[in-house]
Structure 1
């Protein structure tokens, strides 16, 4: 029987050590090829990229080969970019070739480490550094809202500075948008259009939790000519669970904090022809004073108005507010006389203003008006059921039992 050189080396060393006794040493650590420091394998392996010089084409796969005359095999290859991202690759069973299986990042510096083994089992190593060409087009993501404290209904938004239409490219983008959530929270991204993506959980955010979002797209290839750029992360501190229920039929508003009713306020909502929209709305902001003019929202003629308004809490971009309306106190609690806003006394409006936060929930029911749209007029995201919301993810895929699931690779629970 013919033995391999490595087997002879190990067996011979063991027998000799046994024959010399416990106190003798015949083969020290430096004599065992497996424990030796890696030698320079520069002459035994070859790259299809060039050390130094001009940047190499990032669209070209990286390839490492063992030279036939070198008598070595490749045991491992690692290629890491300047951000610490590892380039995926595949090594042949014979150890004679390794090639990358994903595209290299654009405009970055790679460090490649190749580990080898010669016929005696001695380890070798070769390193290469090179830079890749910059992307022809970069995609920048701007997250919203800004860092700060918000209510349990606040969606996370991602605005892209370039349109992304292809589903495969959208999937790359979505995987790179990582949301760190409280444990047990299920959520998903939804593509509003080619440049806007929203993230919300299945249910409202847990009160007093922390939610953050970041992008891992920097340098990542999104499409043939587009790579990701760096983006600023955002962290939200979620406050109390505040839910406001505005009943247009009973003409009263119920204010709940963490499941407990803490105030009931007589109100007036939109009159026929100007009825307040039904549905869930998210508070967009607050202003102590707003000058409200009917002609700015298309209301003219005998219905036109020009009023100073105080304690104004905004819930739609089209101009729907919850605010002080001292001119309609006689109707509050009895009938709807506004042009779509929810009006209350100045004292009640001041209390509401002090106790409401951006991101809190304001829901209108029993109005004869239209329904609040999911997108385009504020944050109506919660008016879309969860099944339809998940359909807007580019990562939706069917399971074997026929149900659909969303790839949660970019949703990371906070522990």
Structure 2
């Protein structure tokens, strides 16, 4: 073999080099954009809401974290004029997130925002390290593509918590693979209290697939977290929480990535119920494939959610990584590429393709073993081999 031939064999495929380069350029642009935004306006983001809730809990008592008037008062003391608490910007997440943010209140909001962003990046990289397939440039490209997606960029832009959810879900998967049911259930319960809309059906999907132990431990740990949350809030805090939810739900921005695009009320609710039920049915049907069960639990949760923002779509990188571990069929790979395009369209306010893609992915996940068989048969026919 010549030196030229040897060098060519060491080079990655052109498509992989192109994908890595394109994703890297997009990530670099995203980092520059985030830095410029941080330098000009480090207050007008979701991190501030979580920070304010934690500050209220530490200084006024955890039963007051949903008090809108107190949120406005604390915000006015921390942030410049023009930063508001309204139906779009207020704290409605379960109390454990405010507990998690408590250490960041040792710093100013801008410094805390920067530290939170670094913490979130580390969480995403840890998730990638735990579950992503491949090696070398192929594996690095999966991380670069994830970071280049608009929902992921917007999540960092706002100081959101989706990366933490991804890391917790990745750890859950890693523990499930090793049949460590109790810690897997506990981690899953913690993830539920950070962003319940991203995985509400996951314990149910595991349960219907016959994996009852992690679902049981999730219920037990979740019950403990719920009890501690209720005690920390008291009746007054619970009433404030319900008032905040009622104040928030009227703003359509909180359902931009749901079936509400196809008609609010019974129409959207019916589609959400159908999507969730279909995901659970397919999780039972494909119960021999834990990767498909896990992916269906996540996608079924988001597809059936009535409260979902554009940055929440970043969670799809995790089930995508998990499915890619099993070398999925060509149609499945093509569908993932379509999902990348749908995710990028969100950047210009086009949401329907992502909602439709998400529903389609439920079907594609359920069909995956059949699709893989069909592809093998077609390849055998094209090569002249005997089809079993």
So what's the TM-score if we normalise by structure 1?
Answer: 0.20
Normalised TM-score (structure 2): 0.21
The higher-RCO structure (CA 8 Å, 6+ apart) is: 2
Q: Which of the pair has more CA radius of gyration?
A: 1
Relative to its length, the structure with more strand (as a share) is 1
